[in-house]
Amino acid sequence: MTNNSNAKTVANHGVAWERAFGYVQAVQVKGTIYVSGQLSHDDDGKLIAPAELDANGRPVDFSRMEEQIRQTYVNAKKLLAKFGATLDDVVEETLYVLDVPSAFAAGSTVRKEMYATDMPQCASNLIGVSALAFAEQIVEIAFRAVIDKPVD
């Protein structure tokens, strides 16, 4: 984690695409933490539960949606922890998915598991998109969290 001169604190996972694309995974300004779209990778940046692709490089099914969503939440939790936050501090999440019906089914299970409640206390958006950063990726989730932090 690093602080910079304009009162932003940032955090990364240390994966290759952070430098390649030129972004940070999370930024805290005052008591708000903005978490960039997370995906299902391990600590080395290898995708977990990659979707099987067809000859055109498009996912052929979405049966690994639940696994991808679960690992995506795990990665978000790691980032939030760097700021002393948890999923309990999340006020909004946006799921970008390649297949809305499979994401709705998988997400309803995983979200309740990750937030440890049947009614997670955050606003949630589920948005269908035509593509994500990696061909094998079928979900990406961005978060906004608010924590108590004294004003500087």
pLDDT tens for 14-49 read: 998 888 898 999 999 999 999 999 999 999 999 999
Q: Is the pLDDT of residue 103 over 90?
A: yes
Q: How far apart, in Å, are the Cα atoms of 122 and each of 11, 64, 118, 146, 151?
A: 22, 25, 12, 11, 24
The domains of the chain, with CATH numbers, are 2-146 (3.30.1330.40)
Cα 15 to its chain centre, rounded Å, is 14
Average pLDDT rounded to a whole number, residues 102-110:
97
For residue 104, count other CB atoms closer than 10 A to its CB: 13
Instruction: Determine the pLDDT at residue 114.
Output: 98
DSSP state of 122: S
Over the stretch 41-93, which tens digit does the pLDDT of each residue have? Answer: 999 999 999 999 999 999 999 999 999 999 999 999 999 999 999 999 999 99
Q: What is the pLDDT of residues 125-137, one digit of tens each?
A: 999 999 999 999 9
